A and B are shown apart, each in its own frame.
Chain A
């Protein structure tokens, strides 16, 4: 029996082989490759749109919204007064139109946002529209976005005796047409604030002082819809103007140096990094910028840029210029503050890497010539490694990853301030 079945098995096998059974065939066609957006290979960006660019009209009370996929105008939204400053709300949904002289802040929904729906996000792509939410305190000036919140500082008014104040906002609170919390000072000042989770570091001014600039820093803690003052730092910061924070430090620029505050849990300690002895007379750092991941901040002054090393506690001139004849025209950062971007008078964009201690990474040619009074502005996408440079009546798109200009489009109005709106990518962590 066994023999028979074996024979039949073999016979059938042979037959099968003759008629071509048991074949394998594989067809492989190589198709368009996918560029890797990020080093770690996670493809979050692929799903994210390029977002929209909100540009304030310099002459009219209008905000223009451009779709950055097609570089076309989506909508022009009328606001009450011309916007003197234009910012993106935390997480990029709203354009915050600050009408400083009119004591008015308006919020325009950019239309692109995502909504957490159980275990996934629903993506919204709506037409831009003015919300009915406004802030109406005196002289809204500094707007400091940090993480998912932003602080709006109202300077108050020396002339009318209006006191300064500040409001804490988030995308969610704007959607609900309310502020998360607010604080009122007992005097006017041209102040600012830095948000650290439930804490907020803000400025204090001695009401008897001549200057409208504050000279001290206080620590506030959020309690429901208001703040409690927890601490006033003894170390003073005369003529305070400009602030920034990294993961480890919060810094305020003062007339005599930089006030560095270190947070360890709930304990904040402050010390002063004095201006170097060789700093020219009349020069001080008036703005601080940088990357959360680098404890060396970039300080801006009338006579150029400085590096403020908060760990080494020293301030040194930032000799960023690739050659001596080059000077700074305007500067900004990319979407996640990983690169400092400096446009120089030769029309080049100089890219400095935060990871690489602000060394020059790349130099990209933008404009063949640049007028002396030109003031191009840099607006960074938070979804892609793209920046938009608004110069005269033209927007130039630069892909920082490719290191090249990748697009242009023209504006038929005179642009003022601008902001990028859309859904931000996850923050990239270089390994």
Chain B
């Protein structure tokens, strides 16, 4: 559904008559200069009718009489929408001219209107096609780390999750086809995102508050992984890929296939990935990151029933991953910990369009996800995380009213989370939320105004929140020698328990405008006021979290000092929601051989829940007795620095820019950069804030050869939180070459991917393990992929 572009009406000639049910619409798609555009997609908005232009740029469609909108999309061109009147017994002719665009314009499924990235007030980037295949990595964060405004929290290549404008964890939502990924990746940086990029079609990144569409978890942004698991067409198409990477000896094979007959479309995809520990540039005798090997596989089956006015379909996915957790040692460095993750996911998706006076369309999404991941140490399960989640979303769009387009969205989400074992720092909890959102948009001349509001009710209940008595040591610099500070003899000998129920009513308000102030340019302005209910782990945690190397205490508790002695009790403060007020300004030039997108944002977050460092440390929960009953090795106390979740006001602001010059049809040159500052209003910096970056990319897109050179400079990060060290700058040089060829009807490409060509030793400031897991050293990957 596309409407935000300039609309030109092209109602045309008529000719012969025959009493048919459908009338023929013919047309031709060309450039402004009259050059033919082959392979442009022409879609009748609100229906499943869709075709591609032939070598002559000509298309033809059979549609019933009525008033329609055609949406025309072609690679390297700005999208175009036209209105069309199809009458009985008349052939309709439509000629369409498209403007060139250096900026890639793509329709985004993460927003209810499915508008393109250019027509959104909120900045959106999309990674797809060959770029996605060339950038796809074992983890989602690492796949997206070259996108402007997005960093990875790089966790040794096994569990990197995306950071959007300095925010991650419970503030960035990871969705798959618009529904929560349903894993445990929001709870800890060492928990992988349970999605696979090699079988996905594209990844959409919404930078900035998207709570309006997605609720509390999306206050920092959304990463939506889109695939065709629920097919919307019976066209037979497929893609496969086989790749080998020399650095970590990774073997990857993936494939997807979609086909169908009559009204039934089917889809199947699968992947297999296995790698050893990855190599790093040698330093102090270390040239490999221990325990960074991974192994994963999965498959998806889906089917849908295509209707004249939409589709309804379901899918089942099974995913298994086994990955080492580098640095996840419980005190003893030699102990290898790995995670074993399993996920089963069922989805039902439907989009229906109605020829009705009130309702234009109804989009329905359901997902049920059963997720389990166990952390296994010496063959024994240390901790098991279970997350069972159910999500439902209905988007009801009304027919245009005084040219206002919009509708309501009802969203329900329930998650039952448990963690059992040594590292069960979060008690079992149930989160349930229900929300109603209202969105509208309207063109006023060259200006598109977007308004939205959402009210949500989130309940977090936990029947047994533990407040254990914990021995606190007032000096965490010296691990081991705590004799003077051992308060243990004062402990009363029991764990206090609480039955806790939180109810939050966050509201989100948003307004945006996109002003096409001159042809080929626009300005986007987005103002939003978003609230986020803190997550169960931010509220209720109490215990060692090896993934972050800290002892975490939730906001429900606070440190009290009595007679000079520190102990934990319930907090005296009210538990409050996080409130973000965000202003985002975009300037875009999207037509012609030169294009750019510039974004600036200012995000004031009140009551930002973050882990505040304390002067204490506490035991790491390592079970000394579990491993060795006989040997009775020298035992020493292992402690972790103690952090308490605290709500403070912070301000984040930053600037992102990208410019592309399409030098010739084949050559393009891109420059991009981003910078962000994240500060507590009290003055200090937030930890793990991404450093400033600047990058340049040279691309060649020929018939036979396509190639890409990407050079990025990550600046030194000196804006550090207390107890955090600075991180040096580094330069990454990556390149890839694809050789395209055909064998009968198959399009094949043999490719070479080269990463970190200069073998740079690079530490990632945003990583919890920056000292332990630098980025991989020089790596060479080669592969073969095919499409049909």
Contact = CB atoms under 8 A, between A and B. Distances in A.
A253 B673 CA distance: 80
Interface in A75-133: 119-120
A40 B623 CA distance: 8
Contact of A34 (B447, B494, B513, B579): B494
A134 B390 CA distance: 57
Nearest to B461: A27
Interface residue SS majority, chain B: strand
Interface string B656-691: 000000000000000000000000000000000000
B513 A36 contact: no
B504 interface: yes
B495 A34 contact: yes
A302 interface: no
A41 B630 contact: no
A266 interface: no
A293 B632 CA distance: 8
Interface stretch (B344-352, B449-457, B740-748): B449-457
A18 interface: no
Contact of B499 (A28, A42, A431): A28
B515 interface: yes
A33 B509 contact: no
B447 A427 contact: no
Contacts of B307: none
A30 interface: yes
Contacts of A39: 488
A313 interface: no
B637 A26 contact: no
B223 interface: no
B451 A429 contact: no
B509 A24 contact: no
Nearest to B482: A431
A22 B531 contact: yes
A426 B506 contact: no
A427 B512 CA distance: 63
Contacts of B447: 1
B61 interface: no
Given A9-B511, A36-B493, A28 B556 contact: yes
Given A31-B464, A36-B468, A24 B504 contact: yes
Contact of A429 (B498, B529, B533, B635): B635
A5 B511 contact: yes
Nearest to A33: B494
Interface in A188-236: 197
A35 interface: yes
Interface string A1-33: 110111011001100100011111111111111
Nearest to B570: A28
B499 A29 contact: yes
Contacts of B623: 40, 42, 426
Contact of B503 (A1, A25, A29, A32): A25
Contacts of B629: 147, 426-427
Nearest to A2: B525
Contacts of B637: 431
A154 to B, nearest CB: 27
B505 A21 contact: yes
Interface residues of A, number: 43
B513 A429 contact: no
A6 B574 contact: no
Nearest to B374: A119
Contacts of B453: 12, 16
A349 to B, nearest CB: 21
Contact of B449 (A5, A22, A41, A426): A5
B381 A21 contact: no
Nearest to A293: B632
B501 interface: yes
B475 interface: no
Interface in B594-626: 619, 621, 623-626
Given A29-B498, A36-B469, A247-B632, A9 B625 contact: no
A119 B570 contact: no
Of B470, B525, B574, B632, most A-chain CB atoms within 10 Å: B632
Contacts of B570: 28
A294 B343 CA distance: 49
Nearest to B464: A31
B624 A22 contact: no
A30 B624 contact: no
Interface in B484-500: 488, 491, 493-500
Nearest to B424: A43
Contact of A33 (B444, B495, B625): B495
Of B451, B513, B630, most A-chain CB atoms within 10 Å: B630
B502 A26 contact: yes
A431 B481 CA distance: 12
A410 interface: no
Contacts of A8: 451, 511
A9 B497 contact: no
A198 B595 CA distance: 76
A31 B506 contact: no
A32 B464 CA distance: 10
Given A9-B529, A39-B488, A31 B468 contact: no
Nearest to B453: A12
A428 interface: yes
Interface string B285-309: 0000000000000000000000000
9 contacts: A9-B529, A20-B505, A24-B505, A25-B503, A35-B495, A36-B469, A39-B488, A41-B621, A119-B380
Given A9-B527, A28-B570, 10 more contacts: A13-B509, A16-B453, A16-B509, A24-B533, A29-B499, A32-B497, A33-B494, A34-B494, A35-B494, A36-B493
Interface of A: 1-2, 4-6, 8-9, 12-13, 16, 20-36, 39-42, 119-120, 147, 197, 247, 292-293, 426-429, 431
